[in-house]
Amino acid sequence: MSVASALSAPPSRRVPAGRLAVYALVAVIGVVLALAPFLLHGNVRGIDVAARICIFIVLVASYDLLIGYTGIVSFAHTMFFGLGAYGTAIALKAMGPSFGALALGGAAGVALALVLAVLIGLLSLRVKAIFFAMVTLAAASVMLVLASQLSDITGGEDGLIYDIPRFFSPANRLFTDADGKVVRLFDVPLNGRVALYYFVFLSALVLFLLMVRIVRSPLGTVLEAIRENETRAEAIGYRVVAYRTAIFCLAAVIAALAGILRAVWLKYTGPEAALSFAIMIDILLMVVIGGMGTMIGAIIGVVIMSLAQFYLKDLMQAAADATNGLPLVPDLLNPDRWLLWLGLLFILLVYFFPAGIAGTLMGKGGHK
């Protein structure tokens, strides 16, 4: 997503090299994502990864609103993501593949996410951060259990498979030439699949820019004040609980919207794809690796993690093969254990570079 122009400093100030590097990197990522259907033509898996990156950028950035800008640690973010996805999936399954069903189901999911966020927020944002983390963890795990047990509605462990509106199907021709054949641009047929990718991409772009706008608004400044010194913010006259609840609800709504995108793109919704604790851990790793409290870090974190999931595994396989004779070492290097190494990296990052990649490069100090 190309947000470099929106974020760059005024020309009169000297821009440090690290900051330029971050912006350049983000610009490249933005261009690649914007042109993904053309650059990755024929590479179905590549486009899948691109769409996943778009969706996760929104999800991770909305989590950054909480953890990075307000200092709230919530473990319920996948719960909201899942509510959006399940709302859409259930409506599409029950009412058939129409835009009406998509809108209705999505709206229901978002509304439910909002209600739950208000409840959790009012109930537990008054008390300590640590309490809140525990309450959200418990709430999220209950939601996961509910999703797998109410199998009549949610499809249980298997999840739901459904059709999406025909407009997004590969058979749909967006533009036809004189012969009635689909128009090709750079050899890529402009069919519904391309339309679906751009639906996901543009929605993600709009949501991301909205979040960038929010953190630059007076609201964002108040949130940072709360993060830095809660007592002082309260003393100045800001109602800390109200602000916290507001941003928690906002982040929940955006996460649910990202869930809708996920449901539409995958044409499948299940506990593993939209609700599991593994996704929560992914989000945490992404936001910390990218850089908490930077927004732009979400982009970098998501891209690095997504690439790592594919390439780190290959690297580990090679290393495991090389150390085949030794005890335990090949087990530790088994590609399935990639989270072990990312977990270690995560701990080291929190100790030594709490600002993450983007924050460190841009010269922003880590916050306390």
Partner 1 sequence: MQNLKGIVERAGGVYLLPVAIAAVTFFLIPPSTWTTLTIAGLAMGMMIFLMASGLSLVFGLMDVLNFGHSAFVSFGAFIAASVLAALASWVSGGSVALNIAALLLAIAAATVFGAAAGWFFERVVVKPVYKDHLRQILVTMGALIVAEQLILAIWGGAPIAVPRPTILEGSIVIGNVAIETYRVFAFLLGLAVYVALYLVLNRTRIGLLIRAGVENREMVEALGFRIDRLFIGVFMAGSALAAMGGAMWAGYQALITPALGAEMLILVFIVVIIGGLGSIEGSLLGAVMVGLTANYVAFLMPKMALASNMVLMMVILLWRPYGLKPAVQK
Footprint of partner 1 (CB under 8 A): 67, 71, 73, 123-124, 126-131, 133-135, 137-139, 141-142, 145-146, 149-150, 277, 281, 284, 288, 328, 331-332, 334, 336-337, 339-340, 342-344, 346-347, 350-351, 354, 368
How far apart CA 104 and CA 92 sit, in angstroms, is 9
How far apart CA 253 and CA 80 sit, in angstroms, is 7
Provide, rounded to whole angstroms, the least separation between the CB of residue 217 and partner 1.
23
353 is written with which tokens? 């570079």
How far apart CA 85 and CA 90 sit, in angstroms, is 9
Of the two residues 37 and 290, which places its CB atom closer to partner 1 in the complex? 290
Provide, rounded to whole angstroms, the least separation between the CB of residue 137 and partner 1.
6
Of the two residues 206 and 347, which places its CB atom closer to partner 1 in the complex? 347
318 is written with which tokens? 């090679």
Provide, rounded to whole angstroms, the least separation between the CB of residue 42 and partner 1.
35
Provide, rounded to whole angstroms, the least separation between the CB of residue 282 and partner 1.
11
Q: Please, how many CA atoms are within 13 Å of residue 89, restricted to the half-sphere of its CB?
A: 28
Provide, rounded to whole angstroms, the least separation between the CB of residue 113 and partner 1.
17
Q: If you search the block for the tokens 């020309």, which residue do you land on? A: 11
How far apart CA 32 and CA 42 sit, in angstroms, is 15
Of the two residues 203 and 245, which places its CB atom closer to partner 1 in the complex? 245
Helix axes 129-149, 277-290, angle to 10 degrees: 140
How far apart CA 96 and CA 90 sit, in angstroms, is 10
- Phi, then psi, of 106 in degrees rounded to 5: -60, -45
Of the two residues 97 and 335, which places its CB atom closer to partner 1 in the complex? 335
CA dist 344 to 40, 189, 282, 299, Å?
A: 33, 44, 14, 21
Provide, rounded to whole angstroms, the least separation between the CB of residue 57 and partner 1.
20
Provide, rounded to whole angstroms, the least separation between the CB of residue 218 and partner 1.
23
Of the two residues 37 and 71, which places its CB atom closer to partner 1 in the complex? 71
How far apart CA 258 and CA 246 sit, in angstroms, is 18
Provide, rounded to whole angstroms, the least separation between the CB of residue 245 and partner 1.
15
Of the two residues 7 and 329, which places its CB atom closer to partner 1 in the complex? 329
Provide, rounded to whole angstroms, the least separation between the CB of residue 241 and partner 1.
12
Of the two residues 123 and 183, which places its CB atom closer to partner 1 in the complex? 123
Provide, rounded to whole angstroms, the least separation between the CB of residue 16 and partner 1.
26
Of the two residues 185 and 242, which places its CB atom closer to partner 1 in the complex? 242
Judge whether 359 and 297 are in contact, CB under 8 Å: yes
Of the two residues 263 and 302, which places its CB atom closer to partner 1 in the complex? 302
Of the two residues 95 and 339, which places its CB atom closer to partner 1 in the complex? 339
